[in-house]
Structure 1
Amino acid sequence: MRAGNPAQARSGGVERLTPAGDPLLAAKFAVPAVPRTHVGRNRLLDRLTEGTKGPLTVVTGPAGAGKTTLAAAWAATRPSPGPVVWLTAENDDSAPGVFWTYVLGAFHCHQVPLPDSVGIPSHTGDVDHSLLVRLAAELARLPQPVVLVLDGLERVPGRGVASGLEFVLDHAGPQLRLVLISRVDPPLRLHRYRAEGQICEIRGAELAFTGHETSLLLRRHGLSPSPESVGALTSRTEGWAAGLRLCALAMQQADDAEQFARSFAASQNAVADYLIAEVLEAQPAATRDLLVRTSILDHIHPQLANALTAREDAEWILARLVHANAFVEPIGDTPWRRCHPLFAEVLRAHLHSRRPGLVPQLHHQAARWFAGNDRPSEALKHAAAAGDWGYAAALLVDHLAVGNCLTGPDTHRLEQLFSAMPEDLPGVAPALVLAACALARGEAASGGAYLDRAEELLGSTGAPEERLTCALLRLLVLGGGGGGGDTDTDGTAAEALAARTRDLMEQVAAPQLQRHPEIEALRRYGRACALQLAGRLGDARAAFTEALDVCTAESAPEVRCHCLGRLALAEALCGSLRAAGRHASEGLDTAKAYGITPSRCPGSCHLALAVVAADQGDLQGARRHLGHAVDAGEAHDPVVAVETAVLHARLELAFGQAGSALDILDAVQAIHAGEPAQRMAVARSAVHLARGDAAAAIAALQAGGPGGPAHTVALSAAHLAAGECEEAMRLLASIDGQQDMSVADQVRVRLLEAQAATLDKDAAAAVGLLGRAINTARPERLRAPFTDAGLWLRHLLTSTPETADLQSWLTGRPGDAEPLVVEHISPREHDVLLCAAQMMSTQEIADDLHLSVNTVKTHLNSIYRKLSVSRRSQAVRRAREVGIL
């Protein structure tokens, strides 16, 4: 049944009056109109229908949650068990006599017959109990149930009215169905109704709009929202109905509705007036002051609120705000509270506009409170907001948390936080934090300069935390190639510094150290990087493996990823290609699992995979991984920079671009010592040899100074190419049997010996040496040394029948998918291949390249031989397989 005519506030033609003699206001009996843009939410309407089958339904939520609109929509659209009697309570109705007069007036207004014998209250301040008895008795005699909706019940505080409602509800029997709408829980004994299963409760969380309902609401306002804007608004308002409606109205007027939906500030502006008028200004002065002062906080603790307001009753005030659904919510079963995000932003804007000078002072007080309560992360945030950089830096150092600038979930936040700290700020702690931030950006040299300043200020004194932080960062600077003039060419300085860092760790409090496992992870990682930079690949592999033992993904995810990448790179350079591939893939998987951004994802993982692919003959895969490594932006690291350039040059050389290969190597910043210099020298010599300039190859190696086995093998190859076979063999004999030779160098030694044997016309010895080389290379599927060997190997394979089994592995037939190109395709042959891939005839190729037909045929035959094919279509397919096309 629907509600009656609310204009009828008379009974028997006589106007009804309050005990004070005032006429009843008919507007209070009117069921509110449902807005044109209303979204009927069946899940809630069904709850109300179910609730009115029982005696009591309570709908509570903050201002603007949609409580009244929900009940009005239900009254207008859903069947009810009987007449719906509506009363909107106001502040003037708080006196029991006035309230019950309006209740009786509502029954008469909505044509629910109650006899005059029920009576009316005679006094404003109270109501005679017998009147309530008569009312309950008459309601129990009604022929059908009646639904009494009391809206705005929070405006009628006090136990007097509530006890009367309970009495009438309990004694009217099943004929009275009471629906209470309020911002706060009505002061009834709700626990009793819950225990008896006689209550239906609809709370603020259920009133919140879902994403689908938000989309419907926006469309009702004539908007066409994208899923992104719907999600943004729903999340930002947390489904608050009034906020969404206000945003929808503002979007109608906006030039770019989608941009409005994405802007938090726009949403804040749209609801600011409502929240200030309906929530903030409705509070007492003390409560308003607390809300505004604590708006600088993400979460509010009563003790912290007391500290910011110089009060002692914050706990009571916050509890009252939670109870009143005043956009303050509890956080679990803790004393912490939170404001609705939009309300918090409005409060912050109010604070900044009304009392801007108070903001730094509040952040300063919050920083001290958080620090004193062992919450350094929050203390740092507020110290930075207060511009108290010296205190913020000291907090980070004193808590041994500088490592968090380099790894862990706070890395990006800390880097952004301290990006505003002045570089000339005096003191040890600021210098140490600036050094850590520089290292996080990959600027080892800048980090070293800041450490020089810190060490000068420290002298021989300083707190253990400062000295430990300084030693750790110095080790990381050394491993990153930022040692300046004191470059650690053999790793001894790194070993000593790692030991000193470990000793300093023993001087700080053990519980404090246990809270920062990343310190030991970074110590081991820094040592391993320095050893790798010094060319001690075997020791570096062992050191990275040791570092992984303490670099858990939970405590130091970025360090673990970089450890895996650098270990994989060291393994790849040592020829342990399978292990390198496993560790590099694990590093990338870890980065993905822990949400490490692409800018922080270790390029060494991709670089290691690129080296593996190149060494196994997959040039196309090598190019793809190399591109990912370059995109990762780790070129600041000397090891990664050098290996990136070396591999890039190798790939250019594989496609006959010797000039481009040299340009790539020349573009790398000058490195005058250590393993990187040797690697560059070996790479340059390979380019010169490919160009047929053995003298230039020897000169490049001699300019790099004496080096390890790879340097000696390259020098031997250059002398052999120069016709100096005796010198080449002498050099190989000097390193034969060395323990630190990589798999690739071992293979190259056998190949050079095989090449020398072919020069001596000793085919049998050459085939034997080739077999030994293949047996060494086969477990790792290492093919690059054979690709780089040159024409002599092709002649040996084609002219010696007993090499058929060896040739099947080298050329990728029959078992392996990746064919081997033993001899490089020249630039002109590459041009001919491109034309052939376009289905051009021999004459068309000749005309296009300005060559004779016979020259084109010569190039094609050379291409067939190099690619181990017999037809043009096979050549094009094979060239695409190996990445030439």
Structure 2
Amino acid sequence: MLSPKGVGCAAPFAVVVSTGARILNSPVSAVTPQSVSVRMQTLPPAFAPWAEGWFNPPRPQAAAAQPPPLLVRRRLHSLLDGAREGLVWVSGPSGAGKTSLMRTWTDARRAAGTPCLWIQLDATDAEPAVFFRHLRLALLSTLATPQARNALRLPAWREAADAARLSAFAQRYFRAWTAALPKPLILVFDACEAAGADAALPLLLDQLLQALPAGALMLAAGTDPLPLTLHRWAASGRCLTLGWEDLRADDDEARELALAWGQPQPEAAQCALAGGWMAAWAVLLSAARCGEAAPAADRIFEACAGAAYSGLDPLTRRVLAAVARQPTASAEEAAVLSDVANAGDVLAALWRLRWFVERQISFDGQVRYALHPLLRAHAAARQMP
């Protein structure tokens, strides 16, 4: 197949670009090959000479230190295989398996001959100027020769003028950017929540989707559900959404995961405790692999999402600690238990985010909320702030 600008390549490529705030806030001219961390997978031979100066592949580790292979989740791969173009939005809490799912699926697509460009977002991408610079670096990483890189011409961002007309600038930029991409292509944006829920990212992704050529697919993942700006893609049938309910590992996948880790088949109690959370399974199986006893439930949650829990506001933690005392609670019961008048709104918001809170509707129409077993143990083990 051919790489961009007609450079011959013996194999499809995948590029992972990760840039830090210190670099992205510098002038473009100050960005050097040494200042960008890029991981190449299945690097084409034509890229090899340039790769020595630009790419920074991970150092090989001893076989004993290598983690078990990622689980190929055939159930979810079959859903992704049906998405040929447009948008796939994968959302779920931290540790739900979003990144590993996208990694295994894009590996399979790349092996089948489809190039993949992976862009890891961070907080700096909340600024449109930084996001465009990030895309420029990603595109440069796909161009195999100095001549191709020097010939790249993208619209230059002018802070005051272009910020006032962001949509118009984005259209011009994305037309030029997509024209230089390989076709077909899978374009991955991971950690979309890092750019901020109220940032311009959804608008920019919408504009980029409009500019992508036929046959190109955008795969985006984050902790937040599909933004309203992108709902029209779902309404037109060009968006596949995978959420927490889809990502939760079923019993068959739990058994496959245990087998990959070289561990006995999990017991029903372990499956109930993990609740389909891939990060929890990693903690449980890692302990078993090291010959250690299974950690307590609250310690498992602490290891997987303790920082996220600590980052919740005090009233939210108060509501969770109160609701954790019983299997389920209605909005009214949560308000009484926590002494927080809007406790029902707090639980509803967490449920909409699928943040380890489930909603149950009884036969008489009453709405009740239940916490994930690990969150319940973690919240109950802590006093209300």
Deviates most, 105-114 or 322-331? 105-114
| Closer/same/farther in 2, CA of residues 57 and 334 from structure 1, 3 Å limit | farther
- Partner letter of residue 359 of structure 2? P
Distance in structure 2 (CA, Å) of the matches to 1:348 and 1:323: 22
* Correspondence for 1:330: 359
Tell whether the 8 Å contact from 1:54 to 1:198 is kept in structure 2 after alignment.
Answer: yes
- The one-letter amino acid paired with 1:250 is A
| 8 Å CA contact 1:84, 1:110 repeated in 2 | no
- Judged with a 3 Å threshold, the aligned counterparts in structure 2 of structure 1 residues 6 and 102 are, in CA distance, closer, same or farther, namely closer
Which structure carries more helix by proportion?
1
Is contact 2:68–2:261 with CA below 8 Å preserved after alignment? no
2:100: which partner in 1? Answer: 69
Give the letter for the 1:4 counterpart.
V
Other-structure match for 1:286: 315
Question: How does 1:686-701 map onto structure 2 within 5 Å?
Answer: none
The one-letter amino acid paired with 1:197 is G
Counterpart check, 1:160 vs 2:200: yes
1:304 aligns with 2:333: yes
- Equivalent position of 2:14 in the other structure: 3
Write the distance in 2 (CA, Å) between the matches of 1:187 and 1:306.
29
3-state SS, counterpart of residue 223 of structure 1: coil
Which residue type is aligned with residue 235 of structure 1?
A
Quote how far apart the aligned CAs of 1:243 are.
Answer: 0.6
Cα distance in 2 for residues equivalent to 1:187 and 1:30:
30
- Paired residue for 1:231, among 265, 268, 271? 268
1:305 and 1:128 map into 2 onto residues whose CA distance is: 44
Counterpart in the other structure of 1:135: 173
Write the deviation string for residues 178-203 of structure 1: whole angstroms up to 9, x where unpaired: 11101111424444222211112222
CA contact (8 A) 2:97 2:278 kept: yes
1:118 is paired with a residue whose SS is coil
CA contact (8 A) 1:294 1:305 kept: yes
- Partner of residue 189, structure 2: 150
Residue 81 to residue 104, structure 1, CA distance change in 2 (3 Å): farther
- Corresponding position: 1:87 with 2:128: no
CA distance in 1, matches of 2:338, 2:102: 40
Q: Aligned in 2, Cα 1:243/1:106: closer, same or farther, shift over 3 Å?
A: same
More strand by share: 2
Matched letter for residue 119 of structure 2: L
3-state SS of paired residue (1:200): strand
What are the Cα deviations for residues 606-625 of structure 1, in whole angstroms up to 9, with x where unaligned? Answer: xxxxxxxxxxxxxxxxxxxx
Q: Choose the corresponding residue for 2:343, options 306, 314, 318.
A: 314
Q: Per the alignment, in what secondary structure is the counterpart of residue 329 of structure 1?
A: strand
Deviation at 1:272, TM superposition (A): 3.2
| Secondary structure of 2:14 counterpart | coil
The percentage of counterpart residues that share the same residue type is: 21
Q: Give the match for residue 535 of structure 1.
A: none
C-alpha distance in structure 2 between counterparts of 1:122 and 1:30, whole Å? 32
1:246 aligns to what? Answer: 283
Distance in 2 of aligned mates of 1:177 and 1:278: 33
Q: Mark the CA change 1:50 to 1:107 in structure 2 (over 3 Å): closer, same or farther.
A: farther
Aligned to 1:117: 153
Q: What is the alpha-carbon distance in structure 2 between the residues aligned to residue 336 and residue 54 of structure 1?
A: 38
Superposed CA deviations along residues 713-755 of structure 1, whole A, max 9, x for unmatched, are: xxxxxxxxxxxxxxxxxxxxxxxxxxxxxxxxxxxxxxxxxxx
Q: Are positions 1:195 and 2:227 aligned together?
A: no
Whole-Å separation in 2 of the counterparts to 1:54 and 1:42: 20
* Distance in 1 of aligned mates of 2:349 and 2:36: 33
Q: Distance in 2 between matches of 1:57 and 1:84?
A: 14
For residues 307 and 91 of structure 1, the distance between their equivalents in structure 2, rounded to whole angstroms, comes to 38
Contact 2:94 2:305 in 1 (8 A): no
Checking the alignment, whether the CA contact within 8 Å between 2:298 and 2:375 is kept in structure 1 is no
- Whether the 8 Å contact between 1:85 and 1:146 is mirrored in structure 2 is yes
Counterpart position of 2:24 = 18
Distance 1:210 1:310, change over 3 A: closer
Q: Distance in 2 between matches of 1:344 and 1:183?
A: 20
SS in 1 for 2:324: helix
Q: Does residue 312 of structure 2 align to residue 272 of structure 1? A: no
Do the aligned residues in 1 keep the contact of 2:316 with 2:346 (CA within 8 Å)? yes
CA contact under 8 A between 1:154 and 1:184: conserved in structure 2? Answer: yes
Judge conservation of contact 2:280–2:301 (CA < 8 Å) in 1: no
CA–CA distance in 2 between the matches of 1:341 and 1:182? 23
Offset of 1:337 from its aligned partner?
A: 1.6
Q: Do 1:145 and 1:176's aligned partners in 2 also have CA atoms closer than 8 Å?
A: yes
1:150 Cα offset (Å) = 0.8
- For residues 122 and 219 of structure 2, what CA distance do their matches in structure 1 show? 16
Aligned residue for 1:336, secondary structure, equals strand
Structural RMSD (CA):
3.3
Confirm or deny: 8 A CA contact 1:29 1:87 kept in the other structure.
no
The verdict on how the C-alpha distance between 1:295 and 1:130 changes in structure 2, with shifts beyond 3 A counting, is same
Distance 2:138 2:366 in 1: 43
Report the 3-state secondary structure (helix = DSSP H, G, I; strand = E; otherwise coil) of the residue aligned with 2:159: coil
Cα 1:169–1:188 change in 2 (3 A) is farther
Structure number with greater Rg is: 1
Is residue 335–residue 342 contact of structure 2 (8 Å, CA) maintained in 1? yes
Partners of 1:67 and 1:5 lie apart in 2 by: 16
Letter of the structure 1 residue corresponding to residue 99 of structure 2: T
Matches within 5 A, 1:458-857: none
Q: Would the alpha carbon gap of residues 314 and 28 (structure 1) be closer, same or farther in structure 2, given more than 3 Å must change?
A: farther
Counterpart-to-counterpart distance in 2, 1:87 and 1:152: 9
- Once residues 285 and 108 of structure 1 are traced to their aligned partners in structure 2, the CA distance between those partners, rounded to angstroms, is 45
Name the aligned partner's letter for residue 125 of structure 2.
D
Say which structure, 1 or 2, has more relative contact order (CA 8 Å, 6+ apart): 2
Deviation at 1:296, TM superposition (A): 1.1
Shift of 1:267: 4.8
C-alpha distance in 1 between matches for 2:16 and 2:92:
29
**Partner SS state of residue 164, structure 1:** helix
Counterpart of 1:56 in structure 2 is: 87
1:617 maps to which residue?
A: none
Aligned 8 A contact 1:247 1:270 in 2 = no
Distance 2:186 2:104 in 1: 15
Structure 1 residue identity aligned to 2:308: V
1:71 is displaced (CA, Å) by 0.8
Question: How far apart in 2 are the matches of 1:309 and 1:269?
Answer: 20
Partner of 1:108: 140
Give how far 1:174 is off: 1.9
Partners of 2:288 and 2:16 lie apart in 1 by: 37
Question: In the aligned structure 1, how far is the partner of 2:296 from the partner of 2:85?
Answer: 40
Amino acid at match of 2:206: E
Distance 1:253 1:4, change over 3 A: closer
Structure 1 unaligned regions, length at least 5? 10-15, 261-265, 356-885
TM-score norm. by structure 1 comes to 0.35
Q: Does residue 1:209 correspond to 2:240, yes or no?
A: no
Query: 2-side partners of 1:188 and 1:335: how far apart?
Result: 25
CA distance in 1: counterparts of 2:305 and 2:231, whole angstroms: 33
Q: Deviations over 1:9-62 (max 9, x none)?
A: 8xxxxxx953554859634777899953422122222322332x1210011112
SS in 1 for 2:347: helix
Residue 119 of structure 1 aligns to a residue whose secondary structure is coil
Q: Secondary structure in 1 aligned to 2:153?
A: helix
Cα deviation digits, residues 575-616 of structure 1 (max 9, x gap): xxxxxxxxxxxxxxxxxxxxxxxxxxxxxxxxxxxxxxxxxx
* TM-superposed deviation, 1:63: 1.3
Q: Residue type of the partner of 1:170?
A: Q
